[in-house]
A and B are shown apart, each in its own frame.
Chain A
Amino acid sequence: MSNTTASRTNILARLREPQRPECGFDERDYLSRFDWDRAERVRRFTERMVAVRAEVHQATADTWLDVVKQVCAAKGLKNLLVSPETERGKQIHAQAEHFPALKTYDRPIEGWKEELFYGVDAAFTSTFGGIAETGTLILMPDAEEPRLMSLVPPVHIAVLEVDKLYTTFAEAVQEQGWVKTGMPSNALLVSGPSKSADIEQTLAYGVHGPKELVVILV
């Protein structure tokens, strides 16, 4: 391998050599704010999500489990990957007989990569929050709900608590204190199913990630 330490020294020296460029602008800290109430945030979020072909279902603390069941049934899912550790995951696992065969991400990927890549129909995850302006889910994958859950299976079902729906990304970062708490290994913004417009500007869904994204608002 080449000597990257020497390169580091050289590059930094070159950057320090010229007279320090001035920034010259002080408009950096402006924060867009929208005065949207809860209903407006839900409306905007839903509108954006639907515009990119995500499914959005409204539910309550009592009905969300039934909505997940209905979604699974409607899509004819043969199996569903759900964490047995998260609060909602526990509830699903407690009623396993009403769901397609439940699978769990209970070992490192190396132990079941083939099954995850080729044998899982759908995954259910929680979310860390949402963004109304752009119709976005915030995911912070962890040991219970690892990164690939929201990426590899063709269908991703996610629950978003409306209390965690912010107006903008900037607001979410600030109010959830991302910097203070420190960034997780991987944080994600997901705004719809995987798509591409690389062929003749025509949208096609499900390129590498899920073809379908189902959001259940609670």
Chain B
Amino acid sequence: MNMTQQKPDTLYFFGTCLIDLMYPQAGVSAIQLIQRAGVNVIFPPAQTCCGQPAWNSGYRDEARAVARAQIALFPKPIPIVIPSGSCAGMMKAHYPELFKGEADEAQALDVAGRVFELTEFLVDVLQIELQDLGAPIKVAVHTSCSARREMGVADKIESLLGQLSNVERVEHARKPECCGFGGTFAVKEPEISAAMVLDKTTHIRNAGVDRLVSQDGGCLMNISGAMEKQGNAIPSQHIAEFLWERTGGNAS
């Protein structure tokens, strides 16, 4: 835990490949939330992917090559904020393993030590104060397994939403259970993944909410994709986009 981190002047933002392609507005909102709190954001344009898909598939050489290209992008001793528990977990928990014994191990460890998941950073470092300007709404929260267990930041999204006076968080059954995405798992073991996401959508629907929010794009893609296929989908949103909207930020 980077509990000693002071509010910086400037930070690096790592947008993740999934947000780049599918949820760019979440990335924009995250940056705007940070900028509004008075912190400059650097977005190294050469960033691509943290390397996790290959890492979790056992292709370590390929994962390392991609990770190596990323760690070169964050030379300054400032925080690296990532709007995903999964990618943050990859960099923080697994880069040290991936680079063990490599010539650039020290550089990887340095990068890993500066990584923050977005909600963690907003709460613990920026101590952000949010004023809810939106209409009353009921939301369900799905916290990704990596945010919950690898990063240990499940409470951050809850506390951010807790600041919003018109947002009612509704608990759903088996909330801490995995949605069944698991990266390549969804493709390699599609039957099990399908059974898991089906149960997850049922529990969220049973909660009777207006919206689903999460700190991870992968889970959102899985759960909302399943709801859309079923029809009558509950709208879902990345937490950054939801917070920005609720607190008066105009979507650009």
A and B touch in the complex (CB under 8 A): no
